[in-house]
Structures are given as C-alpha cells and as structure tokens.
Amino acid sequence: MAERVCPWWLGPILASPVRRRRHNPAEILGPWVKPGMTIIEPGPGMGFFTIPMAEMVGPSGRVICVDIQEQMLAGVRRRAKKRKLDGRIETRRCDEGSLGIDDLTAAADFVLVFAMVHEVPDPHALFNQLSNALRAGGQMLVAEPAGHVSETDFARTLRIAEHAGLSLVGNPRIPQSLTAVLQKQGNAKSSQ
C-alpha cells in the first residue's frame, strides 16, 4: 500500500462540483446517513462529502473531520461557513500516529473512509481507532480508488478491518472504486 498523502493544493479540485458526475454524495451516502447521526470522516479533503453529510444529518447531527493537513481542514471550515453548516462540522488535526479521537469511544453512528486508506502508513492503527469510535452496530463505508489500489491490497485492507472488530456486510457499487460496508460487531443500541 502506498503511503503518500494527497497534496493539499489538490483539495479544491477534489471538492469541485464537476466530481458529482462520478461520485454523487447523496446517492453514495443516502442509504447510511440519517438525521441526528454522528459521523467521523478521516481524510475529508476540502469537504466534498463533508458538506452534503452535514446537510443530511441535520441540525441535531454532526460530522467530525480529521486530517493531517491543516490546509485541507481550513478548506472544510471555509466551505462549511459559506453554507452555514459550520455548527454541524468539527475539524480536528491529527498526526501520523493518532487520529485524535480517543474521546469519541462508541460515539459515532457512521464512518466514511473514502480514498484514503492507501495513504495511511499504519492501517491497523487507523481501523482500530475508527472501530473504537463506532458504536456497536455502527457502520463504515470504505472506498478505495480502483486505479490506485489493487484488489489484493483491498482484500488486505478488509482483513485488517476485520481484526479491528468490523464485519463485512455489503459491497455497494461506486464508480471506479473498490468498496465495502463494514459493521461494528456487538449488539446495536436501540434507536427508539
């Protein structure tokens, strides 16, 4: 797996509305993101998925973005403020060893890991920390770019996630992506 982080100056290109032709956030995330949810998004870029998720979770939900690059997080904050969603979005700067989400044990309903696992030097630590932050029964959508990640490497990623307590529950179709929906093992809390 590669360990090269996408440069921050590509952030505006990755957040471009033109990208919606290939990756429509509402279509991709609609089955999982609901009002009131707490979502964690590591590696959000400048918020291509973050902004739509903040709209989808509504005023009682929140999206927590974690990135190693302050420039990416600044882009998320600018875009969120422009859309008046900054109260629903929290940004956190992390480092190579930790996502900085230890205070979120069993707090997240959903995690979006989109096109970033191949950039992480320690995917074991990534999935362990994200699994710890997911509530029992919470789900994670993992998508990796098919052009950058081989099926063998993606299978290795899924084995790492399984060791972190996540079970494969589906493989949605996302253009030009290898995908998996994972669920945190354990009994889900009743939402009613």
Structural contact between residues 41 and 80, judged by C-beta atoms closer than 8 angstroms: no
At residue 49, the pLDDT reads 94
Mean residue pLDDT across the chain: 89
pLDDT tens sequence across 8-61? 445 454 555 544 456 789 999 999 999 999 999 999 988 999 999 999 999 999
The CA-atom distances, in angstroms, between 19 and each of 25, 35, 48, 111, 169 are 10, 24, 9, 21, 27
The CA-CA-CA angle for residues 90, 63, 69, to 5°, reads: 55
How far is it, in rounded angstroms, from Cα 28 to Cα 48? 12
At residue 148, the pLDDT reads 87
pTM here is 0.87
Of 16-30, 87-101, 135-149, minimum mean pLDDT range = 16-30
pLDDT tens sequence across 101-126? 999 999 999 999 999 999 899 999 99
Asked if pLDDT for residue 3 goes beyond 90, the answer is no
At residue 192, the pLDDT reads 30
Secondary structure of residue 124 in the 3-state scheme = helix
The CA-CA-CA angle for residues 80, 106, 164, to 5°, reads: 105
Percent of the chain having pLDDT more than 90?
78
More confident residue, 152 or 72: 152
At residue 21, the pLDDT reads 52
At residue 96, the pLDDT reads 83
Mean pLDDT score, 175-188? 88
Which domains occur in the chain, in start order? 8-13+24-184 (3.40.50.150)
Mean pLDDT score, 125-130? 97
